[in-house]
Amino acid sequence: MADGKHFLLVEPEDLLRRTVAMTARSLNLGQIHEAAGSDVALRMLRVRAFHGAVIAVDCVGKGGERRYDLSLVDRVRAGDPPDGPPMPIAIMAAEASPALLDALRERRIRRVILKPFRARVLLDTIADFGAAPAPPRG
């Protein structure tokens, strides 16, 4: 197993989370810490450094008020070290509007995974994140 590599996967769909976690372990990519939502993810972020995170974001609101909930991403970014590299984050979303892409650029998110996708896309993302040093947390 990739020594000391820990990744956070925030996805409400149990089957997808478990499939990616088990496959990543079998491929020796590292330890995948699974969270179905923001509350669990925030608890995990308080006690462990991660080499990267893949976070599903949902569209909230109706009509002209529709927007993506990026509050978890904002909390992760708030915990990044001021003098070090930010934690690599990939976002999973149903669509990538220009407004979403602008919001992600502002948050230093460089990877968007559009749903539906193959689990291999997540595994490749995790493998890429494994090359980055883990920022200090906690």
**Domain CATH code at residue 113:** 3.40.50.2300
Which pLDDT does position 79 carry in this prediction?
85
Q: Bridge-partner residues for 105, per DSSP?
A: none
135 lies in a domain? Answer: no
102 lies in a domain? Answer: yes
Q: Which residues of the chain have pLDDT under 50?
A: 1
Instruction: Compute the residue count for the chain.
Output: 138
Per DSSP, 111 falls in state E
Which pLDDT does position 131 carry in this prediction?
75
137 lies in a domain? Answer: no
Q: Mind listing the pLDDT tens digit for each residue in 10-40? A: 999 999 999 999 999 999 999 999 999 999 9
State the total domains in the chain. 1
Nearest to 129 by CA among 13, 41, 2: 2
Q: Which domain holds residue 21?
A: 6-129
Which pLDDT does position 2 carry in this prediction?
56
